[in-house]
């Protein structure tokens, strides 16, 4: 199930905001670090130029060496002694640290008596102050540009979410209409079947009236079949095979209650047997297989509907004690329009098993047939468990 559109867009907005903040932080940090590296290299070059004068305590020469630094962009250059007391500032200032604004960054470079002795106490310390205004302005400009990009991205993704939600609503509406049409079709077919059965029992009705009613029943039935055909939703459901088998058994038990000599048995495995199948297709296939088994009896006999379970599969078995199918015909059953094993089989179209095999395979299962002349036929359906 998808999240509601408002919640999904809120989550999207929060994610984009977090990504925007992180991107701006990385962008600003990159600008500041790159700018600081350039100022540091420049400050180090001025420190090297004035080092000799500072070691000789020639303050005037040192100031002359450092003065051009202010022309290169440094706001302040200051010389401190070994006790961190200000000696001179360029331009003249009494306190460098107190005069710094939030955008001014100091760089401190110690001047040691021994250039290779990093641990020795410095004779002096040079402080160079530069402004971070430029990199921050660049970062701010980049943040504005990124904001435009992220807002555009959010609006495009928002539009996609709205379109997707509209498609979902439309699809659900279509599915509702299809299910409603299917329900209406099923509801129509039941009373139509009852009317059709009643018509066959009306012997005293005139031929013209009977034909008129029969034609109306056929037309209503055709409308129901057309609704089913147009709005059939191919779907798979997780179902307990036992319950579906029991439903078909109860239906057939009532349907063939007046059939003399027929024994209909049910042998259902005790444990649950869940499979992913199309329920309506499965019950129709099983119903047709039971009908075939009953028709194969001559005329009395036994039809058994059983289920078996293995570690990975569920097996549904429909067996009968009917006439059986010859071997030369058995190899063609389920592949060609062959009707065999039934009493008066010459009248059959042979489409039943062909359609059953196709429907079972579409649901991910398999169908197998075993038969012996005079002993009967066993049809096995196998579906993987879920």
Beta bridge partner(s), residue 325: none
CATH number of the domain within which 352 lies: 3.30.565.10
**Do 16 and 121 belong to one domain?**
yes
**Do 106 and 161 belong to one domain?**
no
**Do 45 and 171 belong to one domain?**
no
Domain count, the chain: 3
**Do 327 and 262 belong to one domain?**
yes
pLDDT of residue 264: 93
Sheet holding 76-81, edge to edge: 86-90, 76-81, 122-131, 104-112
Q: Of the spans 201-210, 277-286, 340-349, 375-384, which averages the highest pLDDT?
A: 375-384
What are 249-295's pLDDT values in tens digits?
Answer: 999 888 888 888 999 999 987 676 788 888 888 988 999 899 989 98
CATH number of the domain within which 155 lies: 1.10.287
**Do 40 and 127 belong to one domain?**
yes
Range of the domain at 363: 237-384
What are 7-22's pLDDT values in tens digits?
Answer: 777 787 788 888 888 8
What are 121-144's pLDDT values in tens digits?
Answer: 678 888 899 888 888 888 888 888
**Do 257 and 210 belong to one domain?**
no
Per-position b or e across 133-151, b if 16+ CB within 10 A of its CB: eebbebbeebbeeeeeebe
**Do 378 and 277 belong to one domain?**
yes
- Which of 162, 196, 231 lies at the terminal end of a domain, its last residue? 231
pLDDT of residue 93: 59
**Do 19 and 90 belong to one domain?**
yes
Using 50, 70 and 90 to split pLDDT, how confident is the model at 41?
very high
- Which of 205, 231, 257 lies at the terminal end of a domain, its last residue? 231
CA within 13 Å, CB half, 315: 14
What are 48-98's pLDDT values in tens digits?
Answer: 888 888 888 888 888 888 889 888 888 888 888 878 788 888 876 555 555
**Do 126 and 254 belong to one domain?**
no
Using 50, 70 and 90 to split pLDDT, how confident is the model at 315?
very high
**Do 286 and 358 belong to one domain?**
yes
Predicted TM-score (pTM) of the model is 0.41
Record the tokens describing residue 58, joined without a space.
């020639």
**Cβ contacts of residue 352 below 8 Å, gap of 6+?**
288, 291, 292, 339
**Do 120 and 227 belong to one domain?**
no
What are 198-235's pLDDT values in tens digits?
Answer: 666 565 666 666 666 767 767 776 776 666 666 555 55
- Which of 131, 156, 187 lies at the terminal end of a domain, its last residue? 131
- The per-type count for the chain, helices as H runs and strands as E runs, is 8, 11
Q: How large a percentage of the chain has pLDDT more than 90? A: 15
CATH number of the domain within which 99 lies: 3.30.450
pLDDT of residue 349: 34
């Amino acid at each position: 199930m998808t999240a509601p559109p408002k919640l999904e867009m809120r989550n999207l907005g929060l994610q984009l905001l977090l990504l925007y903040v992180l991107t701006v932080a990385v962008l600003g940090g990159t600008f500041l670090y790159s700018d600081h590296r350039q100022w540091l290299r420049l400050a180090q070059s001025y420190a090297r130029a004035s080092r000799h004068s500072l070691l000789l305590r020639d303050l005037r020469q040192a100031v002359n060496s450092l003065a051009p630094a202010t022309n290169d962009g440094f706001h302040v250059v200051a010389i401190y002694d070994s006790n961190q007391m200000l000696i001179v500032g360029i331009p003249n200032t009494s306190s460098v640290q107190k005069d710094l604004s939030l955008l001014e960054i100091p760089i401190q470079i110690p001047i040691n008596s021994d250039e290779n002795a990093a641990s020795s106490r410095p004779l002096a310390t040079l402080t160079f102050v530069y402004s971070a205004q430029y990199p921050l302005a660049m970062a701010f400009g980049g943040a504005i540009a990124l904001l435009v990009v992220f807002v555009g991205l959010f609006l495009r993704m928002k539009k996609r979410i709205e379109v997707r939600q509209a498609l979902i609503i439309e699809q659900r509406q279509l599915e509702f209409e299809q299910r409603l049409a299917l329900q209406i079709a099923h509801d129509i077919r039941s009373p139509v079947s009852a009317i059709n059965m009643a018509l066959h029992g009306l012997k005293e009705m005139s031929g013209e009236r009977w034909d008129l009613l029969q034609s109306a029943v056929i037309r209503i039935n055709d409308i129901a079949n057309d609704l089913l055909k147009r709005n059939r939703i191919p779907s798979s459901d997780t179902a307990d095979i036992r319950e579906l088998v029991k439903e078909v058994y109860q239906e057939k038990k009532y349907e063939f209650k007046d059939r003399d000599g027929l024994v209909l048995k049910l042998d259902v495995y005790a444990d649950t047997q869940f499979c992913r199948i199309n329920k309506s297709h499965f019950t129709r296939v099983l119903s047709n297989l039971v009908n075939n088994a009953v028709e194969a009896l001559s005329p009395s006999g036994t039809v058994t509907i059983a289920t078996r379970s293995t570690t990975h599969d569920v097996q549904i078995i429909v067996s009968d004690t009917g006439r059986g199918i010859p071997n030369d015909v058995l190899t063609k059953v389920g592949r060609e329009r062959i009707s065999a094993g039934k009493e008066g089989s010459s009248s059959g179209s042979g489409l039943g098993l062909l359609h059953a095999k196709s429907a079972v395979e579409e649901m991910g299962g398999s169908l197998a047939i075993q038969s012996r002349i005079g002993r009967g036929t066993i049809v096995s359906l196998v579906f993987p468990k879920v």
